[in-house]
Structure formats: C-alpha cells, structure tokens
Amino acid sequence: MISQSVNAQGEFQVLQKGYISKHEADNERSRSIWSFCAKAEHAMYWPSRYVADAECALLNRGVAIPPDGPYLITNFQVEEDTPDRFLIFCEAPFEELKQSPFYIASKSK
C-alpha cells in the first residue's frame, strides 16, 4: 500500500506500509531498535490480537525514523495473518530513508 502525506514543510511525501520485522534493546542508549520490512512473510508476529494491540498502544506513543530522525510514527496497526499470528505495521516515508531492504527506527524506553 502506498499513500501520500504532507510533511511539516508542506511537501508531499510517499508513505509505504512497513511491517515490524525485528526488535532489539539498545541498553546503552536506553531505547528499543525496531526493524521494518515490506513483506508480511518477513515480519515478526505476536501470538494474539490482545498482545499485538498492547504493543501497538506502546508504539503509538511515537517511534522515530531513522533513529534520532525527523519522522515520528504514531499510526501502528495490527493485521491478522492467521488466527495465531498477528503482525504490526505502519505507514511511513520509508522510501525516502532507504538505506537497505530493512529500515531501522528507535523508541526511548
């Protein structure tokens, strides 16, 4: 899914769907590191909607991309892949931040 948004400078930016694919703790900087991917088959999953919804509530406090970057994501949502596999995704300007097939974001703990 690709959509558009207007940034703070009034410029259009392309938003793409990104699934959470990995989570790591960065204890040295007291933050979490989240990786994103474009395809559901590479995504990390949660075992129930309840657990995924709870994670979304925490993530929707704001995740910066790139780490310490100019974009703050607050639109995380849950998608059911199978009855026991729930994915978390968001729409963000990933293409503008392309560094590799996966994109890294951070969230202070």
Residue 86: both structure tokens together:
């729930």
- Please give the DSSP secondary-structure letter assigned to residue 9: T
Residue 93: both structure tokens together:
């300007």
Domain that holds residue 7: 2-108
Q: For residue 12, what are the β-bridge partners?
A: 6
Q: For residue 65, what are the β-bridge partners?
A: 71
- The number of distinct structural domains making up the chain is 1
**DSSP percent split of the chain into helix, strand, coil, nearest 5:** 20, 50, 30
What's the whole-number mean pLDDT along residues 58-69?
79
Q: Give the tens place of pLDDT for each residue, 9-61.
A: 556 667 788 899 988 887 887 777 888 888 899 999 999 999 999 999 999 98
Which residue has 């929707």 as its token pair? 60
